[in-house]
Structure 1
Amino acid sequence: MNRTDLAKWLAGHTRTLLAPLTISVLARIVGQLLAVALLAYAAQTIVYASPANSAPLWVPALILAGLALGKAALRYLEHYAGHWVAFTSLQRLRELFFARLIPQVPAATTGRAGSELTTRATSDIDRIETFFAHTFPPAIAAVVVPAVALTWLGVQASWPLALTLALFVIAATIALPLLSSGGTWKRASLVAGQRGRIAERVGDDVQGVREVLAFGIEEQRIDALHLADDALQAERSRAGRQHGYRAAAMLSLQLGGLIALPIVGAASGAQPAEIAIAVAVGIALWAPVQGIDGFAAGLDSAFAAAARIREVIDGEPTVTDGPGDATPADSGIAVENVTFRYGAAPDDHATSRRPDAPTLDDVSVEFAPGAWSYVLGVSGSGKSTLARLLVRGWDPESGTIRLGGVDVRELTLDDLRRRIALVSQRPTMLSGKIAENLRLGSHNAPDGELLAALAAVGLDEWLGTLPDGLETTLAERGLDVSGGQLQRLALARALVARPEVLVLDEALSELDAETARRVRERVAALGVTVVELTHRADLVPGEASVVVLDGGRVVEQGRAAALREAGAAFTHLEARV
């Protein structure tokens, strides 16, 4: 992914914003031409001033004031239009980022810290502002303004002086950026990557602050953060030195051009007035020329940030939408000969080429409609993977999952996830009111439905103790409620959406045995199909249907009472508690 590709990709986001972008470009060009005219006219007025010239002073003063005011107005217009384009493009880019990320979940977030994605969605996108607001107008003006001004200088004053100045302008706008571009791009990429790693580390420390304090590893984590900061500072220092060298070279070209003009003028027989005007034009031209250096310094950082953003946006969705032309007959689920391994292509069955063991291996189970079924297994047995396959977080590489007799791949993702709700062990509550969180699955649900869902999970009495009730504000990620309350809020949120199937992945693990029993009774009374994945075999009632997973394979299934009598895998799990 090179800078040319990134520039084309970013430019594509401004295609519908050509009008304000054109206004910004024209305002910059005309404004900088007025700046050239301001200095050139001032120099000409001074050079030709003499006692014999009886023209009143208010005339040139009025002209200079008009040029200055016009330049200021155009400068404001340029910035207003340019930043309107920039912030509108950033808004669209951020929306696109989330729109493309959603179909990639959970694969895109597996093994990746949430803070790292947050940095890409916020800080990295903000850094791209340099490209939108400070690239097109300066780049075009850096070509057009010198071309117009030097042509005028050649026609009105001296072509040798104009050509001399042109050489220094070309060196500053083309040669210098080309010579320094490789190093700055590399440094900008390294700095962006290191910033992402620091954000990931800080996010981990903030989210795991309780564990850090509990194990007394504050100094260890702080020392590691210091090392990461030192690495970032080292990269930024190298990048800063390169920028300093480029700035010194730019200043040398500017001074060299001004020194060369009198020398060339004297050698070519130019008049002192012509040399003075050429010097004034040369001074004025360094504003558009330095604009190239100004945005080039931040452009590589913008490109490095854009590369990180595009990596997510261009990611392939884990699953694709089904045609949606089939309707399940009921809420029963059938898992037929399902094999799955992380990182495997769903349509690639050549498992002999993959030395890694599958997470699920030829799994076949059925969950009856309206029943409460259990999937048991120790950590790493494949329970959570099965849960994610049921809602098409991934598709199996072989085998089929059916809902009501329909292959889940035939349903649209929205329809499938409306019918099947997954509640995880560590749910997330968004910052906001309890009611707002409960309505995530059903935006128009009345308060009565919210209260009924809370009653079903045993939180009605707790809600009554809150002065603001449903309007109580929750902290980010629900950190101001207990683990058991958080799990029950997540379960209530799923019930508000009225799913046909509930998949509970250790979703009651923070509850004590008696509270969990009451919640199961109330939810079961709703008649919804429930698949609970847990390691607590001791809490499974004797009449319940049970599947035992071990190493990704079904090792036992049947009624819990019969499995207890058999004294095999189920009993071993029960003994571990």
Structure 2
Amino acid sequence: MPANHTPHNLANRNLNNDNLANRNLNNDNLANRNLNTKPAAVFRLRDLVKPSFDLWVFSWMLGLITALSMLALLMISGWFITSAALAGMIAIGSHSFNYMMPAAIIRVMAMARTAGRYGELMLSHHAVFSLLKVLRLRFFRQLAAQPLIQQRKTLHASQYMHRLVSDIDKLDEFVLRVISPWLIGIVSIVLLALFASWVLPVATGVKLIIVGLLAASLLLPFYASLKGIGQASHLSQVAEARRQKLLAPLSIITQLLLWQQWYAQTKDYVNQDDRLQQLEWRVQKQRSAYMLVIQWLFNGSLLLVLYGLLQLTQNHVTPMTFNVPLALAVTLGLLGIQEIIVPLGQHFLALGNSIAAKNRLNDLLTPDSQTQTALQLSQQPASLPLPDSELSASLQDVCAKIPQALVGAQHVNAHIQSGRPLIINGPSGCGKSTLLQMLAGELPLLSGTVLLNEHPWFDYDWQDQLGYLGQQLDIFDQSLAANLRLGKPDASDDELLAVLDKVGLSQWLQAQPQGLDTPLGEYGTAISGGQARRIALARLLLKPRRVLLLDEPFAGLDAQTREHVWQQLRQHQQHDLLIVVSHHEWDMGECDTLTLTEGVYPFSNSSHTDNY
């Protein structure tokens, strides 16, 4: 996660600002109904080039100019020096040597190399930043369009968010370390092979061997890249497993250090880290071996060139009968091109890293089998408009559970009426929060029936009419007003002041010099937990909603403030549904209670005070 909790990074915390204030079930229903007919778009590596194709083409052209200018500069310089030396060895007056033209070409090549490198870096960096922007927007928008069940799986799991961010950043390796260097390398090898075949006065068999060695210098990193696809995938899996082994004990490091259990609880991490280091060491040895073999291939080509020239001299062919400067240019070209080809072996995992990142991103946005089944169970042919009359909801033998959780809500039966709040209580781990998450659409309904006015709960087109306050709060590093307006972007200052009064924050606001512009800090660190929860609640109350689902809205509040907020909530929802999970016990007036316990959960329809 980025360290800076700025508006640019809001997507990394929650991909739908409107969901901060309420969990809109409409998107969930639409996605559920289209699950089978409209599969998720599959991301392909070639899509990386499309957003800035013109920039990449110019960047590749400049990269070719840079590489070829570098080779030409080295080869022409060698040819020029050798030719000048030969001209000096010949009797004065019997030979004329025009040194102005080669000198001018060398200067042009030097300027082309410098300008090409600068231009290529500038364009490629601009294209990369544009690519990262497009990728992040694409994947976060695609994730925001997923059902809330799938969003919750991704957003509420640290490994998924880490993968989503890091894998997007890793995709640029495909362009920078696969397409660009391979394009430049292939063109350079082909041109050098053609030039060597043209100017070298050696036997045809020697030329073919030289061309074969040059081809092998490309085939070896190509083979290594194909073999590295599986290695990169395995390496990323082990690295992610190591990260997860560390996160669990790191989250309670203080307690483990106090109990002197840190080393005992991090043994799995140490073992996983050792395994990763072994894999990385193996990869490093492979990388060094590939680079060494590529250098040997070029050195072998160089030795063949020298051997061919030596054969000529042994056959009494004098240097005057063949072009020695051009032969030296080929020799220098074989030395200089290593700078272009050797990195292909060095980055043999780049293709595998890109493919692994692409596959993980596609998997991340594709519902797993359990989620797919749950979504299909809740598919309905059409959305019903919410009735304007009073609402009446019923839960019949409802079961809901967080995937892979050991506990959850089981066999819940309840009835909720407009204007009569439902208070859900019970011991920790009995499924209170899980039940709210299911009603909010964040978890699938495993079994049972949820009805609203005799129609299935998930058939309705909620259209911003369901508000959900979960246990995890979303407070951003922005001003108080900006955080509140996430619930209603066009809210006036008077509306903000009124809703803050409802949650008992008026006096606190008056004591703040900056008023509504008061910064709340990253993750709400500038305020207390109770204040953060009330601000999140105020954000919900900015709009009238037919259903409010509140999970522990009174946590961190004193008795007087708790009573004030409760009365405001009752008044706010006096004609609509209000469902509250709370551990607090006091005289809350006439309301229904649902007490969840182990096993079957009974429902009682009576005043709240009679159930404590």
* TM-score interval for Structure 1 and Structure 2 normalised by the shorter chain: 0.7 to 0.9
**Corresponding residue for residue 350 of structure 1:** none
- In the TM superposition, what is the alpha-carbon distance from 1:472 to its structure 2 partner? 1.6
Decide whether the 8 Å contact of 1:185 with 1:300 is kept in 2.
yes
**Corresponding residue for residue 122 of structure 1:** 165
Cα distance in 2 for residues equivalent to 1:395 and 1:114: 17
Alignment partner of 1:332 out of 364, 388, 391: 391
Distance of aligned partners of 1:468 and 1:106 in 2 relative to their CA distance in 1, 3 Å threshold: farther
2:605 alignment partner, SS class = strand
AA aligned to 1:543 is E
- In the TM superposition, what is the alpha-carbon distance from 1:250 to its structure 2 partner? 2.3
Task: Confirm whether residue 386 of structure 1 aligns to residue 435 of structure 2.
Answer: yes
Task: Confirm whether residue 70 of structure 1 aligns to residue 122 of structure 2.
Answer: no
Task: Confirm whether residue 33 of structure 1 aligns to residue 68 of structure 2.
Answer: yes
Decide whether the 8 Å contact of 1:35 with 1:71 is kept in 2.
yes
Cα distance in 2 for residues equivalent to 1:451 and 1:216: 49
AA aligned to 2:386 is T
1:474 alignment partner, SS class = coil
**Corresponding residue for residue 79 of structure 2:** 44
Task: Confirm whether residue 452 of structure 1 aligns to residue 491 of structure 2.
Answer: no
**Corresponding residue for residue 472 of structure 1:** 518
Task: Confirm whether residue 481 of structure 1 aligns to residue 524 of structure 2.
Answer: no
Distance of aligned partners of 1:441 and 1:220 in 2 relative to their CA distance in 1, 3 Å threshold: farther
Task: Confirm whether residue 371 of structure 1 aligns to residue 423 of structure 2.
Answer: no
Alignment partner of 1:138 out of 181, 197, 201: 181
AA aligned to 1:163 is L
Task: Confirm whether residue 534 of structure 1 aligns to residue 576 of structure 2.
Answer: no
Decide whether the 8 Å contact of 1:376 with 1:534 is kept in 2.
yes
Task: Confirm whether residue 500 of structure 1 aligns to residue 546 of structure 2.
Answer: yes
1:539 alignment partner, SS class = coil
Cα distance in 1 for residues equivalent to 2:496 and 2:254: 32
- In the TM superposition, what is the alpha-carbon distance from 1:82 to its structure 2 partner? 2.8
- In the TM superposition, what is the alpha-carbon distance from 1:255 to its structure 2 partner? 2.1
Task: Confirm whether residue 253 of structure 1 aligns to residue 297 of structure 2.
Answer: yes
Matches within 5 A, 1:78-117: 78-102=120-144, 103=146, 105-107=148-150, 109=152, 114-117=157-160
**Corresponding residue for residue 329 of structure 2:** 277
Decide whether the 8 Å contact of 1:165 with 1:282 is kept in 2.
no
Matches within 5 A, 1:81-480: 81-102=123-144, 103=146, 105-107=148-150, 109=152, 114-158=157-201, 160=205, 162-179=207-224, 181-182=226-227, 184-197=228-241, 199-200=243-244, 230-267=274-311, 271=322, 273=324, 274-315=326-367, 319=375, 324=383, 326-330=385-389, 332-337=391-396, 339-342=398-401, 359-403=408-452, 407-412=456-461, 415-416=462-463, 418-480=464-526
Decide whether the 8 Å contact of 2:152 with 2:442 is kept in 1.
no
Distance of aligned partners of 1:474 and 1:394 in 2 relative to their CA distance in 1, 3 Å threshold: same
Distance of aligned partners of 1:473 and 1:335 in 2 relative to their CA distance in 1, 3 Å threshold: same
2:486 alignment partner, SS class = helix
| 517-526 or 298-307, larger mean C-alpha shift | 298-307
List per-residue Cα deviations over 1:493-516 (Å, max 9, x = no partner): 211243222111123233233332
List per-residue Cα deviations over 1:1-44 (Å, max 9, x = no partner): xxxxxx98222232243222222222223433333333333333
Decide whether the 8 Å contact of 1:454 with 1:489 is kept in 2.
yes
Backbone CA RMSD of aligned residues: 3.6
List per-residue Cα deviations over 1:379-424 (Å, max 9, x = no partner): 2322222211212113324444344555443345xx44x2111112
Distance of aligned partners of 1:532 and 1:46 in 2 relative to their CA distance in 1, 3 Å threshold: same
1:374 alignment partner, SS class = strand
- In the TM superposition, what is the alpha-carbon distance from 1:473 to its structure 2 partner? 1.4
| 494-503 or 263-272, larger mean C-alpha shift | 263-272
Normalising to structure 1: TM-score of the pair?
0.82
AA aligned to 1:101 is L
Cα distance in 2 for residues equivalent to 1:169 and 1:393: 58
Alignment partner of 1:61 out of 75, 95, 103: 103
1:498 alignment partner, SS class = coil
**Corresponding residue for residue 514 of structure 1:** 560
Distance of aligned partners of 1:420 and 1:365 in 2 relative to their CA distance in 1, 3 Å threshold: same
- In the TM superposition, what is the alpha-carbon distance from 1:534 to its structure 2 partner? 2.7
- In the TM superposition, what is the alpha-carbon distance from 1:53 to its structure 2 partner? 4.1
Distance of aligned partners of 1:112 and 1:441 in 2 relative to their CA distance in 1, 3 Å threshold: closer
Count matched residues.
544
Decide whether the 8 Å contact of 1:262 with 1:275 is kept in 2.
no
2:50 alignment partner, SS class = helix
Decide whether the 8 Å contact of 2:550 with 2:581 is kept in 1.
yes
AA aligned to 1:196 is E
Distance of aligned partners of 1:517 and 1:444 in 2 relative to their CA distance in 1, 3 Å threshold: same
Decide whether the 8 Å contact of 1:190 with 1:235 is kept in 2.
no
Uncovered stretches (5+) of structure 1, i.e. residues with no partner: 1-6, 345-353, 565-569
Distance of aligned partners of 1:255 and 1:357 in 2 relative to their CA distance in 1, 3 Å threshold: closer
Cα distance in 1 for residues equivalent to 2:604 and 2:466: 23
- In the TM superposition, what is the alpha-carbon distance from 1:107 to its structure 2 partner? 5.0
AA aligned to 2:209 is T
1:135 alignment partner, SS class = helix
**Corresponding residue for residue 3 of structure 1:** none
Cα distance in 2 for residues equivalent to 1:122 and 1:39: 43
Cα distance in 1 for residues equivalent to 2:507 and 2:225: 67
Decide whether the 8 Å contact of 2:401 with 2:434 is kept in 1.
no
Distance of aligned partners of 1:90 and 1:426 in 2 relative to their CA distance in 1, 3 Å threshold: closer
AA aligned to 1:171 is A
**Corresponding residue for residue 50 of structure 2:** 15
Decide whether the 8 Å contact of 2:477 with 2:520 is kept in 1.
yes
Cα distance in 2 for residues equivalent to 1:492 and 1:321: 33
Decide whether the 8 Å contact of 1:36 with 1:149 is kept in 2.
no
Cα distance in 1 for residues equivalent to 2:165 and 2:448: 40
Cα distance in 1 for residues equivalent to 2:178 and 2:553: 51
Cα distance in 1 for residues equivalent to 2:171 and 2:149: 27
AA aligned to 2:519 is T
- In the TM superposition, what is the alpha-carbon distance from 1:555 to its structure 2 partner? 1.3
Distance of aligned partners of 1:203 and 1:360 in 2 relative to their CA distance in 1, 3 Å threshold: closer
Decide whether the 8 Å contact of 2:221 with 2:348 is kept in 1.
no
List per-residue Cα deviations over 1:513-536 (Å, max 9, x = no partner): 333222101221223531012344
Distance of aligned partners of 1:215 and 1:91 in 2 relative to their CA distance in 1, 3 Å threshold: farther
AA aligned to 2:549 is V
Decide whether the 8 Å contact of 2:295 with 2:338 is kept in 1.
no
2:595 alignment partner, SS class = strand
| 423-432 or 232-241, larger mean C-alpha shift | 232-241
| 288-297 or 109-118, larger mean C-alpha shift | 109-118
Distance of aligned partners of 1:552 and 1:140 in 2 relative to their CA distance in 1, 3 Å threshold: farther
Distance of aligned partners of 1:122 and 1:426 in 2 relative to their CA distance in 1, 3 Å threshold: closer
Decide whether the 8 Å contact of 1:328 with 1:405 is kept in 2.
no
Higher relative contact order (CA 8 A, sep 6+): 2
**Corresponding residue for residue 59 of structure 2:** 24
Cα distance in 1 for residues equivalent to 2:211 and 2:297: 11
List per-residue Cα deviations over 1:184-218 (Å, max 9, x = no partner): 44554454345435555666677656766776766
- In the TM superposition, what is the alpha-carbon distance from 1:70 to its structure 2 partner? 1.6
Decide whether the 8 Å contact of 1:113 with 1:200 is kept in 2.
no
- In the TM superposition, what is the alpha-carbon distance from 1:62 to its structure 2 partner? 0.9
Cα distance in 2 for residues equivalent to 1:72 and 1:53: 35
**Corresponding residue for residue 557 of structure 1:** 604
2:337 alignment partner, SS class = helix
Cα distance in 2 for residues equivalent to 1:486 and 1:142: 57
Cα distance in 2 for residues equivalent to 1:467 and 1:226: 50
**Corresponding residue for residue 348 of structure 1:** none
Distance of aligned partners of 1:258 and 1:23 in 2 relative to their CA distance in 1, 3 Å threshold: same
